[in-house]
Amino acid sequence: MAATPTHVTVHQASRVLEVGFDDGKTFRIPFELLRVYSPSAEVMGHGPGQEVLQTGKREVGITAIEPVGHYALQPQFSDGHASGIYSWEYLYHLGADADALWRNYFDRLKAAGVERDAPMKVAGTGHACGSH
């Protein structure tokens, strides 16, 4: 059985989302990590290899956050991104595996030859899935 949240706190000054779970674990997930690993089609694509590398998100904020049923949260970020629905299981994964996720993100940046703080390139996606 997956852990369920006991509390969620948005820390605006330190830019972290704190999520406590009923197994006793509490994670402080940086907004940047939440944003670059958004589970939205805009970021994840529609299948393996279609991920869109996110950059320029170090200073991103959360302007609003809404519950989705009893299973997830949907934050709205200061860069306008609001289509990611973060299940409790996914938030647990982001918290528990944060070190590996950061390493993967930095490796992807390096492989792409892109700086972490580079602005996102604005371009058409070339497909019409309606999720953008």
1 or 41, which is more confident: 41
For 14-112, the fitting CATH number among 3.30.460.10, 3.30.2020.30, 3.30.479.10, 3.40.50.720 is 3.30.2020.30
Q: Please tell me the distance from the alpha carbon of residue 28 to that of residue 26, in angstroms, as a whole number.
A: 7
Kindly tell me the sign of the dihedral angle through the C-alpha atoms of 103, 53, 58, 94. Answer: negative
User: What pLDDT sits at residue 47?
Assistant: 84
Domain segments of the chain as ranges = 14-112
User: What pLDDT sits at residue 121?
Assistant: 76
Averaged pLDDT of the chain: 91
Q: Please tell me the distance from the alpha carbon of residue 103 to that of residue 91, in angstroms, as a whole number.
A: 18
Q: Do 19 and 27 form a contact (C-beta atoms < 8 A)?
A: yes
46: pLDDT confidence band, cut at 50, 70 and 90?
Answer: confident
- Amino acid 119 reads P
Per residue in 58-81, pLDDT (tens digit) is: 999 999 999 999 999 999 999 999
φ/ψ of 86, rounded to 5, equals -100, 105
132: pLDDT confidence band, cut at 50, 70 and 90?
Answer: very low
User: What pLDDT sits at residue 120?
Assistant: 87
Burial class (CB in 10 A: 0-12, 13-18, 19+), 82: middle
